Every structure is written in structure tokens, then in C-alpha cells.
Amino acid sequence: MRPGQIGAGMVAVLAAMALGGPALAQAPGAATPAPLPPAADQALGRAILKQMVEINSTHAFGSTTAAKAVADRMIGAGFAPGDVQVLIPPGHPDKGNVVVRLRGHGKAAPILYIGHLDVVEARREDWTYDPFVLTEKDGWFYGRGTIDMKGPDAAVMTSLIRLKREGFVPDRDIVAAFTADEEAGGDFSGIDWLLKAHRDLIDAALVMNPDDGGGEAGMKSGRKLYVGVQTSEKIYVTYQIEATDKGGHSSRPTAGNPIYRLSRALTRIESHPFPVDLTATTKAYFRGRAALESGQVKADMLDAGSPSPSPGAIARLASQVETDILMRTTCVATMIDGGQGESALPQRARAVIQCRVIPGEPVEDVKKALAAMIDDPAVTISVFTPPTPSPESPPSPEVIGAVAGVATVMWPGVVILPIMSAGASDSAFTRSAGIPSYGVDGIFDDVDDERAHGRDERIGVTAFSEELEFTYRLMKALAGGG
Ligand SMILES: [Zn+2]
């Protein structure tokens, strides 16, 4: 999960809250305990989680120590040294990555799991417990990265070791890449580098990314509600708009004043929303989400998810921010500056416009749309932060069906929600490289208690054991074989 990201689940839940009291009228997620792995695998998972949390892999320390620890553990568990590779980019000794391969029958192209090894900073004085010691307390594991994403990393490692020990030979290779630099301060993305420098080692037909903020499992007041499958992310691109003039003395106002020009431009941007654009994911999201809603909201979501949505339903959903942002590209003014002196006509005024583009819409068209809205050739538009284009991965029955098959057996009644995130994850790189990528994670977080990147980050002890079992079952289902 990157800084500033709104977790997909948060979007869903904020939507539920925004859309009124009777939301979540049905109560999926019965109280029957979910199946858990054998005790030995639960112990293994905890030991790996402890080891990973206690290796400080914040930006200052890097990820090489963690990558080597993963390699040692996998080789110790019986993986051939040739199937476990630590890869350190030249000139970046702290940005180590590790790629592990469980060999299959080669009946299909491999499936690739990706997980970042780095975590965001955490200061001891801000936390109740030492963030770099795994602390078990009252049914929780506390520690930096427990959610984002050493918990999910540990689940992938534990599942691979369990499959290896059981002698399971999948139909296709299962590859796992644990990588550097996804988080704040990231300056050398491990997955981006691996795709460019070692594509052969990680090439795959399918990527699974259990990062928090992509797919995630949501519960509210102890009720398990949904398992998200993140298929897409809005594309982040930022522009600067600027007006200039020769200036002069403030006693002689002129029509070319850049501050007035800029303010007219900003008002036009505000009053021209981008058109509604429902992707396959958003339609499937609304159809799934409807099961957790009631009344008019439920009807509107079913309508929006149908082949030809009605304008009324779209307008009602668009009246709430959290559903509106799922349906259209947005651009918003985030910074402004201008003028150079109290008694001088301004020579320059500029604003930063931050856009989140629906995947599939050409990013170049956003600039054209802004120019058309502004309708003033004297106001220039330039790229401030360029995009990483990342197409939607189709909400395919292969993946959604496998997730549903595993999740609804483990947690009867949960809804499977295809999700487009408002923020970005490492899946942007794999999607951009042409590999359909899906964010799925089975750690149920309380939607009202989001702690990724925050103080006292934690996961439930039982939720973690369930994640171990979920990851193992899903890995088998996707890879096939026996
Ligand atoms: Zn993350």
C-alpha cells in the first residue's frame, strides 16, 4: 500500500456509511469457526511472521537482509538452491529481492505471487509495543508490517513450504517474488527492476498480489462481510496549469491578470465532472455490493451493474463521493500559488491539478479534456507527475471463481467483490507489463480500524491463521494439480 492511498475496502465501507443506516442489512459471515491449517503449519507461519517483523526493512535499512532470510528459510525447507534466487540490483546493495519457484508439471504458464518486503517507518515512542518485535496480546499480533505486508508474505511462504512438504506438484510453476521498495521513500522498485532485468525468472500468465489496500477482506463489528479481488487501480497523473502576464503596478489593473484567469480556469474544472465510465470491475462490484445493501441503494447498485444502467440510478450513486469516484475520472485542485508582491500585478499564477483516471481511458485525453474545460489558450497545461499506465485486469471467472470457491467454503455468506482501487500498488507494474494481476488477501480487517501505515499495526491471531489456510487453498486452486 502506498502513501495517500485509500484502501479499496475503505472505499467500500465509506460507501456503506455514506449510503445510510440500513446498509449491511444482511449479516453474512456466520459465527462457525473457519478451517485452520494443521498446528505445525500455524506455528511455522507465526515463526516466519516473527522473523520478518523483527528484521527492520524500512527505507533506511532496505530489504536485502529480509530477502536473504527468506532464501535461507526456503532452502532450509527443501527448495533447491537453484529455485531460490536473491537478486540485488547493481549499485543498490540494500534493495535485495528474492524469487522462489515451486516447480510444476508445466501444463500452463506459471502463476506469480508478489509481495513487498519493505515497510513504512515506525517509531518506538509512538507505539504501545516495540514495532519491530512481534508482540502477541489479547488475540492480536502487533508489529510493523503485520498487515502491510509481512503477514501476507508469511502466508505465501508458509503455503509454499507446506505444499513442498506434502509433495504437491502443481500443474503450473508457482513463483513468488518478494521485493524491495514499494512503500514511502521508494526509489528503486524491486518488481519494476525484476520485470526489466529478470523477466525470465518471474514471467507468468497471472499475478496474485496479497498486498493490503488492493484486495482485502472486510468485516464490521466482528461480522465477515466481503473478500475483495482487486482487478484495477485508478491511474495517478498530475498536471500544473499556469497563467502568466507582464505584470505592472496594482494601481492599474488589467484584463490579463493571471490570478483571475487561473481562478476562472479552476472554477470551470470544478463545474465540469468527467463522464461516467463503468468498467467491468465496477459493474461487478456494484452487483456484489448490492448483496450487502438494502432498499433504494441496493436497487441502484443492481441497476448500475446491469448492461444498461438507468440515469436515475447513476445520478443517485454519483451524489455520494465514495460511489461517485468509482464511476468516473476525477481531477481536483490540490495546490495553488501566484503573485509576487502586495502592490504588483501578478506575473504568474499556477495550480496543481491531481487526476485519478479510470483504467482504460487514454491518459492523454485527460489533458485534452482539461484544456476543453478551461477554454482559455492563455492558460497552459503541463505534466507535473507522469502516470504509470495500468490497464484493468479482466474480472475473469478463473480468478474470481477460484477466490469465491475457497472463500465461501471457509467463510459461508461472504460476498466476493471485484474492486478498482483509488490508489496504486505494485500490481501497476505487472499490469503495465501485460500480466493480468489480482489483489487478494484473506486477512479480515475491521473496516472501522484501519492501521496499515499507522501506529500499533496489528492483525488478529485467528485471522492470521485463517489467512494461512486461505492462501494455501487458493494457491492450490489456481495452480491446479496434485
Ligand atoms: Zn503494501
Residues near ion ligand 1 (Cβ under 5 Å): 1, 148-149, 211
User: What's the gap in Å between 216 CA and the centre of ligand 1?
Assistant: 11
The pLDDT of residue 80 is above 60? yes
Q: What is the mean pLDDT of residues 253-269?
A: 97
Q: 476 by DSSP, 3-state: which?
A: helix
* Cα dihedral 406, 444, 207, 356 in deg (nearest 10): 130
pLDDT of residue 216: 80
User: What's the gap in Å between 214 CA and the centre of ligand 1?
Assistant: 8
User: What's the gap in Å between 373 CA and the centre of ligand 1?
Assistant: 36
The pLDDT of residue 171 is above 50? yes
Please tell me the distance from the alpha carbon of residue 147 to that of residue 441, in angstroms, as a whole number.
10
Q: How confident is the model at residue 9 (pLDDT cuts 50, 70, 90)?
A: very low
Q: How confident is the model at residue 454 (pLDDT cuts 50, 70, 90)?
A: confident
User: What's the gap in Å between 1 CA and the centre of ligand 1?
Assistant: 3
Q: What is the mean pLDDT of residues 287-309?
A: 96
First-to-last C-alpha distance (Å) of the chain: 34
User: What's the gap in Å between 392 CA and the centre of ligand 1?
Assistant: 19
Q: 445 by DSSP, 3-state: which?
A: strand
Please tell me the distance from the alpha carbon of residue 338 to that of residue 351, in angstroms, as a whole number.
9
> What is the tens place of the pLDDT at every residue in 32-56?
789 999 999 999 999 999 999 999 9
pLDDT of residue 72: 98
| Mean pLDDT of all residues belonging to the chain | 91
Please tell me the distance from the alpha carbon of residue 177 to that of residue 157, in angstroms, as a whole number.
10
The pLDDT of residue 17 is above 50? no
User: What's the gap in Å between 97 CA and the centre of ligand 1?
Assistant: 15
User: What's the gap in Å between 401 CA and the centre of ligand 1?
Assistant: 25
pLDDT of residue 251: 97
Q: How far is CA 90 from CA 24, 118, 402, in A?
A: 51, 19, 39
Please tell me the distance from the alpha carbon of residue 2 to that of residue 236, in angstroms, as a whole number.
12
Please tell me the distance from the alpha carbon of residue 389 to that of residue 370, in angstroms, as a whole number.
19
User: What's the gap in Å between 61 CA and the centre of ligand 1?
Assistant: 17
Q: How far is CA 30 from CA 393, 413, 414, 474, in A?
A: 31, 7, 9, 21
> What is the tens place of the pLDDT at every residue in 186-215?
678 999 999 999 999 999 999 999 997 666
> What is the tens place of the pLDDT at every residue in 394-425?
998 999 999 999 999 999 999 999 999 987 88
User: What's the gap in Å between 8 CA and the centre of ligand 1?
Assistant: 12
The pLDDT of residue 393 is above 70? yes
The pLDDT of residue 445 is above 90? no
User: What's the gap in Å between 95 CA and the centre of ligand 1?
Assistant: 16
Neighbours of 87 (CB within 10 A): 20
Give just the sign of the alpha carbon dihedral 411, 209, 74, 132.
negative
- CB contact at 8 A, 360 and 391: yes
> What is the tens place of the pLDDT at every residue in 207-239?
999 997 666 899 888 889 999 999 999 998 999
User: What's the gap in Å between 76 CA and the centre of ligand 1?
Assistant: 27
